[in-house]
Chain A
Amino acid sequence: MANVARYALGRLLLSIPTLIGVTILVFLMIHFLPGDPAFFLAPPEATLEEVERIRKSLGLDRPLYEQYVTFITNVLKGEFGKSIITGHKVSELLWPAYMNTLILSVFAISISIILGISLGVLASLNPNTLLDQTVMSVSLIGVSMPVFWLGLLLIELFAVKLRLLPAGGSGSPAHLILPSLTLGILGSAYIARVTRASMLEVLNRDYVRTARAFGLPEWRVILVYSLRNALIPVITVAGLIFGYMMAGAVLTESVFAYPGLGRLIVNSIFARDYPVVQAGLLVISITFILVNIGVDILYAFLNPKVELR
């Protein structure tokens, strides 16, 4: 236990350079753009005097490293400035969208885990049968399918043909079903493949054979002795997929007009609302990095054999 705590601390410390790197990247974005950064941060209808005032107030006339220090101080205080289009505080736009994406991802990963593990276990218990091959083929097709196309297919089926669910938007739990199903099916394809591989490996281990030899009922052998151990890599993969969902839900959100963080960023890119783009990219990246750290720590906790450095 103490080992895991030390590992967790070390892992957090090791991620500091990465986090700083990401903030530098997002900070520099404005300066990568061809042209005067002050113009990108000023409202489109701003006069020259207003642009100058923004330049002063943001310190854009000072050296780059000073600007970065100001930027990072503001970020740590949770201040991302104002949207240059609507004038709202960026944080007020960001958090509702963030919560929406979080809710979507939580639902989606739950679907992925339930569906993926069931299919993977089913396939692994009947290796090389028609069932196994079907599960594997379907999951490979799932991995290869563009998520936005899957979304359109589900809209066609459930919203247009069957008229069961809304095709897009938000506001009620029913609006969540299709987007989370879309994201979730995709994730379940990966999880099914990992579960099957992991189960097949565990089912050949000595302790499983011993459990069988002792005449334990088959469901116990599978559920208690095999699955519990086989799930360790599955949990890791599920964690990584959750991170990808948080960061990559933008396509799904776009298909279903779901007001999440990815859609906010894309709309802001089109509107050239750079303070929102910066803040959004920063928040998503940090979430993704933190989720990955969490997954590493969880893996270390679950698997005592892992080499802790």
Chain B
Amino acid sequence: MISLIEELIERKLGKSQVRMWRRLRRNRNIKVGGVLVLGFIFMGLLAPWISPYDPLRGKLIESLSPPSWKHLFGTDIQGRDILSRVIWGARTSMIVAFFSIAIAVTAGTLAGSVAGFLGGWVDNVVSRVVDIMLALPDILLALFVAAIIGPGLENVILAIALYNFPQFARISRASVINIKQEDYIEAAKAIGERDVSVLLRYILPNSLAPVIVHATLRTAASILTAAGLSFLGLGVQPPTPEWGAMLSDARTYLVTAPYVWIFPGLALTLTALGFNLLGDGLNDVLNPRIEV
């Protein structure tokens, strides 16, 4: 079945794309990372159907029951099923990661490529702002935003988008400046293509590879930072199931019920590991400099 699908995919692709596709498939990091990431996305998307219990409602009589056939991961202090909360936690993390990275990639690529393409004072202004933002570490920018606009799901997304923005701006600026000097861009300009269409049709598509690799790696870091903010109480608020917040709740009965904090942490680690492996693998395949 799988080989049939693979054959169909290969038939659709051009010759060089087939080679790329085969290299992607052969890379072990991509395989393992891909499986972990797919598992995470699967959990997040299907949470309402696959979680055995309501993640928000528990029976107090079952408070802190250890893992059993009824509750595979046990229950928390309010008697809520931990497996269900871990599954729903994937959905929360997925929402935060997807929207924050999407905003950061869009805004960053736009600002970076316009700066790289136009040069001059536009480039100067964008680059200085990016420099200042990059001079501050991730968690600090996130704390900064949390201090101003307060906690909550949307605010976490905003905080994480904000600290990822300058990285994507810098990467796409660099690759646009590189590509700008290629012959085919000169050619496009020579036949009278307008600036906007040169940027959109020729430069942007060719500058995407490093952005994709970085976005994958940043997703791992962003999921961890979002969980960290929630752990500190500055992120997603209870009773929303969120892995970092679950770990924070569990601290009070660390000794008596280790199963309360083991599983959310494991889920976080495996998810971040998946995105890191996938990012490393994509980097090996898409970034030909490594092979030299």
* A-to-B contact residues, CB < 8 Å: 17-18, 21-22, 25, 29, 32-33, 140-141, 143-149, 152-153, 155-156, 160, 167, 243-244, 247-248, 250-251, 254-255, 265-266, 269-270, 274, 277, 281, 284-285, 288-289, 292
A146–B268 CB distance below 8 A: yes
- For B228, the closest partner residue in chain A by CB is A251
Let me know if A269 and B143 touch, CB within 8 A.
yes
Contacts of A145 in B (CB 8 A): 265, 268-269, 272
Q: Is B2 an interface residue (CB 8 A)?
A: no
Distance of A22 Cα from B140 Cα, bound (Å) = 12
Contact indicator A22/B135 (Cβ below 8 Å): yes
- Measured between beta carbons, the chain B residues less than 8 angstroms from A143 are 276
Distance of A251 Cα from B247 Cα, bound (Å): 12
Question: In the complex, what residue of chain B is closest to A285 when comparing beta carbons?
Answer: B136
In B52-107, the 8 Å CB interface with A consists of: none
- Complex interface: chain B residues within 8 A of A255 (CB): 251
A251 partner residues in chain B, CB cutoff 8 A? 139, 228, 231-232
Q: Tell me whether B116 is interfacial, beta carbon within 8 Å.
A: no
Which residues does B use to contact A, with CB under 8 Å? 128, 131-132, 135-140, 143-144, 146-148, 220, 224, 227-228, 231-234, 244, 247, 250-251, 254-255, 258, 261, 265, 268-270, 272-273, 276-277, 280
Since A144-B272, A250-B143 are in contact, a sample of 5 more A-B pairs with Cβ atoms closer than 8 Å, ordered by chain A residue number, is: A17-B132, A18-B135, A147-B228, A247-B139, A248-B140
Expressed in whole angstroms, the minimum distance between the Cβ of A35 and any Cβ of chain B is 11
Task: Out of A18, A140, A250, name the residue touching B232 (CB < 8 Å).
Answer: A250
Are B276 and A266 closer than 8 Å at their CB atoms?
Answer: no
Some 19 contacts from A to B, beta carbons below 8 A apart, are A21-B131, A25-B132, A140-B273, A140-B277, A143-B276, A145-B268, A145-B269, A146-B247, A152-B261, A155-B254, A243-B137, A248-B137, A251-B232, A254-B232, A269-B146, A269-B234, A281-B143, A281-B147, A288-B136
Complex contacts, A33 vs chain B, CB 8 Å: 148
> Which of B135, B227, B269, B273 has the most chain A CB within a 10 Å cutoff?
B135
Which residue on chain A has the smallest CB distance to residue B274? A144
Give A147 to B270 CA distance when docked, in angstroms: 14
Q: A248 with B138: in contact, given A140-B276, A140-B277 (CB under 8 Å)? A: yes
Instruction: Check B138 against A146 for contact (C-beta < 8 Å).
Output: no
CA gap between A147 and B232 in the complex, in Å = 12
Q: A244-B137, A248-B137, A248-B139 are in contact. Are A149 and B273 (CB under 8 A)?
A: no
Among A141, A266, A292, the residue within 8 A (CB) of B135 is A292
Of A140, A167, A274, A284, which contacts B140 at CB under 8 A?
Answer: A284
**Chain A residue contacts of B132, Cβ below 8 A:** 17-18, 21-22, 25
Residue of B nearest to A160 (CB): B255
Is B148's CB under 8 angstroms from A29's CB?
Answer: yes
Nearest A-chain residue to B144, judged by Cβ: A281
Chain A residues closer than 8 Å to B148, beta-carbon distance = 29, 32-33
Report how far A230 CA is from B88 CA in the complex, Å: 45
Q: How far is the CB of B235 from chain A (nearest CB, A)?
A: 12
Give A143 to B220 CA distance when docked, in angstroms: 10
Report yes or no: B273 in contact with A148, Cβ–Cβ below 8 A. no
A146–B272 CB distance below 8 A: yes
Establish whether residues A281 and B268, one from each chain, have CB atoms under 8 Å apart when the complex forms.
no
Closest residue on chain A to residue B147 by CB atoms: A269
Do B231 and A254 have beta carbons less than 8 Å apart?
A: yes
Chain A residues near B276: list those with CB within 8 A: 140, 143-144
Whether A17 and B128, one on each chain, are in contact in the complex, defined by CB atoms closer than 8 angstroms, is yes
Within 8 Å by CB of B137, from A32, A266, A288, lies: A288
Q: Which residue of B lies closest to A245 (CB)?
A: B137
State in angstroms the CA–CA spacing of A154 and B12 once bound together.
51
Instruction: Report the minimum CB–CB distance from A182 to chain B (whole Å).
Output: 13
Nearest-neighbour CB distance to chain A for B165, whole angstroms, equals: 14
User: How many angstroms from the CA of A203 to the CA of B261 in the assembled complex?
Assistant: 44
Instruction: Indicate if the CB atoms of A149 and B269 lie closer than 8 Å.
Output: yes
Taking each of A146, A167, A250, A292, which has the highest tally of chain B beta carbons within 10 Å of its own beta carbon? A146
Q: Which of B131, B140, B268 contacts A247 (CB 8 A)?
A: B140
Q: Output the least CB separation between A212 and chain B (Å).
A: 24
Choose one: A25, A140, A146, A277; the contact of B224 (CB below 8 Å). Answer: A146
A167 vs B251: C-alpha distance when bound (angstroms): 11
Choose from B234, B250, B273 the contact partner of A141 (Cβ within 8 Å).
Answer: B273
Closest 3 CB pairs of A and B: A149-B265, A21-B132, A144-B272
Asked whether, in the complex, the Cβ of A146 is within 8 Å of the Cβ of B232, the reply is: no
- Chain A residues within 8 Å of B273, by CB: 140-141, 144
CA distance A202 to B247 in the complex (A): 43
Contact B269 A266 (CB under 8 A): no
Q: How far is the CA of A284 from the CA of B140 in the complex (A)?
A: 8
Taking CB atoms, residues of chain A closer than 8 Å to B143 are: 250, 265-266, 269, 281
Residues of A within 8 A of B147 (CB): 29, 269, 274, 277, 281
